[in-house]
Structure 1
Amino acid sequence: MTENRQKEHQSFATFWPFYLQEHAKPTTRNLHYVGTSLVVLIAVYSIVTFNWPLLLAMPLAGYFFAWMAHWRIEKNRPATFTYPLWSLAADFKMWGLWLTGRLKPELEKAGVEDR
């Protein structure tokens, strides 16, 4: 467990480096990308096809991969349980930075080594 786990984050600016530290292993981040990508695909497909009940699958798709990564790979507790909204925002921020190739400097600033 990281020492930041004990801190109470009062802003997204302090939460963001903590979030990245909790996602230090590339496999953890990769599983988050799978889940977040599925969430986006489900949302788009649901809107295009007017299949609104399919939207109910979004939390399952997103959280399944993320939580498995935390419990099996990182061996930590998902930040979602303590910071649900910031965790969701950080997940999409991490995903967006990964998609655009801009995540590495953020990981470096947060002190996350490339493993």
Structure 2
Amino acid sequence: MSAFASFRDFYPYYLNEHRDRRCRRLHFIGSSLVLLILFYALFSERFVWLWLAPVVGYGFAWIGHFVFEKNRPATFRHPLYSLMGDWVMYWQVLRGQVKI
């Protein structure tokens, strides 16, 4: 996979790597749990919980890729754009622009 000139160029590729609804659902669940963990850690001041956020977020996403999509997560080749894509897709799911 070649380098992308911008996130705008990357995002269609990212969506193509998430064609299976079950994978998108797992991404959405993982991202939602990450937000809950972040809020809990910040408001309870129990910052030790923050280590769990990437484990949960990537764990759910990678299960979706390895089990349902049968592809390698874009995180391995494009970590920053992939993280950005996760949150753009999350927002688009909330807005009904991407179906889960």
Percent identity of equivalent pairs: 43
Find the aligned partners of 2:98 and 2:62 in 1 and give their Cα distance: 21
**Counterpart of 1:7 in 2: which secondary structure?**
coil
Q: Does residue 1:97 correspond to 2:92, yes or no?
A: yes
Q: Does residue 1:73 correspond to 2:68, yes or no?
A: yes
Q: Which amino acid aligns with 1:45?
A: Y
Find the aligned partners of 1:68 and 1:103 in 2 and give their Cα distance: 20
Find the aligned partners of 2:10 and 2:48 in 1 and give their Cα distance: 33
Normalised TM-score (structure 2): 0.95
Return structure 1 stretches of 4+ with deviation > 4 angstroms: none
**Counterpart of 2:9 in 1: which secondary structure?**
helix
Which moves more between the two structures, 95-104 or 75-84? 95-104
**CA shift at 1:96, angstroms?**
0.8
Name which one, 1 or 2, has greater alpha-carbon Rg.
1
The two structures, once aligned, show a CA RMSD in angstroms of 1.3
Matched pairs, number: 100
State which of 42, 47, 55 in structure 2 corresponds to 1:47: 42
Match runs of 1:1-115 below 5 Å: 6-103=1-98
**Counterpart of 2:3 in 1: which secondary structure?**
coil
Structure 1 alignment gaps of length 5 or more = 1-5, 105-115
Normalised TM-score (structure 1): 0.83
**Counterpart of 2:19 in 1: which secondary structure?**
coil
Find the aligned partners of 1:27 and 1:102 in 2 and give their Cα distance: 16
Structure 2 alignment gaps of length 5 or more = none
